Amino acid sequence: PGAGWATLDGTPPLVIAHRGASGLRPEHTLAAYEVALEQGADIIEPDLQMSRDGVLIVRHDPYLSSSTDVADRPEFADRRAERFGREDWWVADFTAAELQSLFARQTMEDRSDAHDDRHRVLSFEALLDFVEARQAECGCRVAIEPEVKLPAQYAALGLDPLPALIAALDARGLNAADAPVIVQSFDPEFLRRLDAVSDVRLAMLYSGPDEADANAGGLTLEEIAAFADGVGPYKANLMTPDGDSTGYVEAAHAAGLVVHTWTVRDDRAPLVGETVEDELRALYALGVDGVFTDFPATAVRVRAQM
Ligand code: G3P
Ligand code: CA
């Protein structure tokens, strides 16, 4: 914009590929991440679950029926189990090798299934290998924003994602404040534990208006700033239906926190205006520091036009 960006540091907002370019390829696959980088995403997002043998696996849901071919695999027919009130195939009941034998499928209604059953489920290590290979090719830094899912649920199963995350970051020199990494979680206790043993940047995820989940554990922005560098609020926290600021971005910035909001989806109704471009312009005008999107190319294009 002519007057400059209203981000915390005045630089342009970052385009974060949500689960990769998940509007165009099955989420959390190398194909989704490749398209994201081709489209100019600044950061790629892997959500992290954990296998029975303690390996971080790149997947949104803690169960597998929603995003893989597991239900069609006879060798896993007897692995369906009830956990946490749901009968399904659970990531934590499978070894990493078994999980990486599964093929990913599109998860959202009305999206093409043309790329289903072609790309394997990924481990976090495999994603980090991909990132290193891409960096070597381009001579640039490929940033990641991993989200550790459900640490309390994993604790109930006797698993802890924290040591595995630290080990993965340590092994690649990424456990540092200036590394191209921001670790996110909806769980403040997990982030506090991580903050105590790591220098990596952290972001506290928020739900809020129109979302059922608890809102950042009832913490104030100042309390969050004691252990985190940013917040990841649902976009309806930031603006009214008319696109006016709720004051959230300004308050987060005043607390020294960057704001990475979610999720922009070209194929869903925008929160404000008539089109996804309207929504993106409104978010950028508010001064968000990053947008998670399933369609990175659109967010890159709209940013370039402002
Ligand atoms: O991490 C930001 C955003 O991805 C949170 O929602 O459910 O898509 O992981 P979810
Ligand atoms: Ca996420």
Protein residue whose Cα sits closest to atom 2 of ligand 1: 262
Tally of CB atoms within 10 A around 267? 12
Residue 74 Cα to ligand 2 middle (Å): 30
Report residue 148: phi and psi, to 5°: -85, 115
Task: Tell whether ligand 1 has an atom less than 6 A from the beta carbon of residue 206.
Answer: no
**Residue 50 forms part of a structural domain:** yes
Is residue 107 assigned to a domain?
Answer: no
> Does the beta carbon of 22 sit less than 6 angstroms from any atom of ligand 1?
no
Is 106 within a domain? no
pLDDT at 2: 53
Return the residue whose CA atom lies nearest to atom 5 of ligand 1.
262
Q: Is 60 in the pocket of ligand 1 (CB under 6 A)?
A: yes
Give the up-direction half-sphere exposure of residue 253: CA atoms within 13 A in the CB hemisphere: 16
Query: What's the token pair of residue 158?
Result: 């006797």
Residue bearing the bigger pLDDT, 87 or 219? 87
ipTM over 0.90? The verdict is yes
What's the pLDDT at 78? 98
Q: What is the pLDDT of residue 206?
A: 86
Quote the CA–CA distance of 259 and 225 in Å, as a whole number. Answer: 12
Residue 237 lies in a domain: yes
pLDDT average, residue stretch 229-257: 93
Is the pTM higher than 0.90?
Answer: yes
Closest residue by CA, ligand 1 atom 6: 262
**pLDDT computed for residue 71 by the predictor:** 98
Q: Does the residue 180 lie in any domain?
A: yes
Average pLDDT over residues 216-227: 85
Q: Does residue 179 belong to any structural domain of this protein?
A: yes
59: phi then psi, degrees, rounded to nearest 5: -165, 145
Structural domain includes residue 142: yes
pLDDT (average), residues 125-147: 96
Ligand 1 site, residue 18, Cβ cutoff 6 A: yes
Burial of 82 from C-beta contacts in 10 A (0-12 / 13-18 / 19+)? exposed
Range of the domain at 248: 14-61+121-304
CB 260 within 8 A of CB 290: yes
Q: CA-to-CA distance for 302 and 23, rounded, in angstroms? A: 17
Q: Could you tell me the CATH number of the domain that includes residue 234?
A: 3.20.20.190
Nearest CA to 24 among 102, 117, 115?
A: 115
CA distance 22 to 9: 28
User: Measured in angstroms, how far is the CA atom of residue 185 from the centroid of ligand 1?
Assistant: 9
- Number of structural domains the chain divides into: 1
pLDDT of 39 higher than 70: yes
Residue 1 lies in a domain: no
